[in-house]
Amino acid sequence: MSLQQSAESTARTLFTPVHIGPYILQHRIVLPPLSRLRAQPGTGIPSDLQLEYYTQRASEGGLIITEATAIASSARGYYHAPGLYSEEQIAGWKRITDAVHDRGGTFFTQLWHAGRTSHIEITGSQPVTASVDPAYWADANNVIDAPDGFKPVSPHRALDTDEISTIVEQYRQAAQNAKRAGFDGVELMAANGHLIDQFLQDNVNKRTDRYGGSIENRARLLLEVVGVLVEVWRADRVGVRLSPSNSFNGMGDSDPHALFGYVIQQLDALGIAYVHLIEPRVKGADTIAESQPPIAAQELGKLFRGPVIAAGGFNPETAKAAVSNGVADLVAFGRHFVANPDLPKRIENGWPLNPYDRSTFYAFDEHGYTDYPFYDASQSDALPAA
């Protein structure tokens, strides 16, 4: 966060305009990537439900980032997750980007390779990762959305060094496809234990080639991918999402401060649009505490001179504090945006929030997805706040 941004922070609110690259946002409330498993099963083509969902949550001058979107069929992690590698998928996303733009929104897509967090029934071949760890697929808690329901991940293999360039080129192609689909920019999924994160953190990465060992080597894949995204889009239209303190999907590092400090400094030097930091109070789908301060943004955000998006377990009050105190430039809401398609308006006007129903987060249909009500200001019997 820049000195100028810090000096201005005392006057900032969630509804002070902010720049993300070339785009001027009218508020700082972000819909982050949320895997909701509503794409057409198997094909990864965006569905009519997704069209309705994103259109509902689009707002004038608001930033939306798609759910994790696979860069190739071999990169998929969930049977009902969308992709951006086929003509049908590109056309499906174009319908949605047009609708979001019609409502005045700015729309980025998150490019994703699941790595070992997958199943051979989804990828068509053995899932790949940085290093082999049989304990990961032996753990029954590591489950994914498969054709016949949720099941444990399948055994994975380590990528050969000469295979990694193919992965990088898949990201390049997906970035080009994102342009054709009408997106305004791309975010790299480098968080939550998926492929890029599997290379970053030494709890998983035990490689001895140029992609393993030192922090510089473990960050190499991330920076190579960011490099091709920048070539396609320009730096100011590329964001990166990181989870510095997240143990989800078997993650962990012996020195996370040094690792993520290095990564953020490298991203800062590239001049990318933003960094998106997940707070340690969220672990996968679980929220540990909404009252805990945003540690990741507070400690690592100061290393990045551009906008910082903080995500994970925020409520309206903690979000307001994070922005006004200069800890974050924007705040992403997951569960509350799921349950409140008009969340920016509710926060701006002090209206109560719909409670969310966690049991419907991954239910494959409209329930808990597109059927949450907008606030009716003419009604006095609003739902209680979550």
Domain assignment present for 262: yes
3-state secondary structure of 96: helix
- Burial degree of 349 (CB within 10 A; 0-12, 13-18, 19+): exposed
First-last CA distance in the chain: 31
13 occurs within a structural domain: no
The structure's pTM equals 0.93
Q: Is residue 180 one of the residues assigned to a domain?
A: yes
pLDDT at 247 (0 to 100): 82
Residue 363 lies in a domain: no
Q: Which residues contact 317 (CB under 8 A, 6 or more apart)?
A: none
Considering the domain boundaries, does residue 356 fall inside one?
Answer: no
Nearest to 241 by CA among 228, 253, 252, 225: 225
Helix, strand and coil percent figures for the chain, each rounded to 5: 40, 15, 45
Of 342, 332, 361, nearest in space to 56 by CA: 342
Per-residue pLDDT of the chain (386 residues; tens, 9 = 90+): 543 444 344 468 999 999 999 999 999 999 999 999 999 999 999 999 999 999 999 999 999 999 999 999 999 999 999 999 999 999 999 999 999 999 999 999 999 999 999 999 999 999 999 999 999 999 999 999 999 999 999 999 999 999 999 999 999 999 999 999 999 999 999 999 999 999 999 999 999 999 999 999 999 999 999 999 999 999 999 999 999 988 888 899 999 999 999 999 999 999 999 999 998 754 445 554 544 555 678 889 999 999 999 999 899 999 999 999 999 999 999 999 999 999 999 999 999 999 999 999 998 999 999 999 999 987 645 444 44
Q: Does the residue 371 lie in any domain? A: no
* Residues 280-308 as b or e (16 or more Cβ within 10 Å = b): bbbbeeebeebeeebbbbbbbbebbebbb
pLDDT of 187 reads 99
CATH number, position 110: 3.20.20.70
| Number of separate helices (H) and strands (E) present in the chain | 14, 16
Could you give the number of structural domains in the chain? 1
Residue at 139 is within a domain: yes
Q: How high is the pLDDT of residue 106?
A: 99
For 246, the enclosing helix (H) or strand (E) is: none
Tell me the C-alpha distance between 291 and 26, whole Å: 26
Pull the structure tokens for residue 248.
């989800």
Q: Which pairs from 337-340 meet CB under 8 Å and 24+ separation?
A: 337/29, 337/31, 337/32, 337/34, 337/57, 338/34, 338/36, 338/368, 338/369, 338/372, 339/372, 339/386, 340/372, 340/375
Predicted pLDDT at 299:
86
CA distance 157 to 287: 31
Amino acid making up residue 194: H
With H, G, I as helix, E, B as strand and everything else as coil, classify residue 120: helix
- Say how far apart CA 356 and CA 320 lie, in whole Å: 21
pLDDT at 385: 45
355 lies in some domain:
no
CA 336, 175, 186, 219 dihedral sign is positive
Note the pLDDT of residue 47: 98
Contact present, 183 and 108 (Cβ < 8 Å): yes
Query: In Å, what is the CA distance from 384 to each residue of 31, 57, 266, 339, 379?
Result: 22, 20, 44, 12, 13
Range of the domain at 221: 18-349
Q: DSSP assignment, residue 31?
A: B
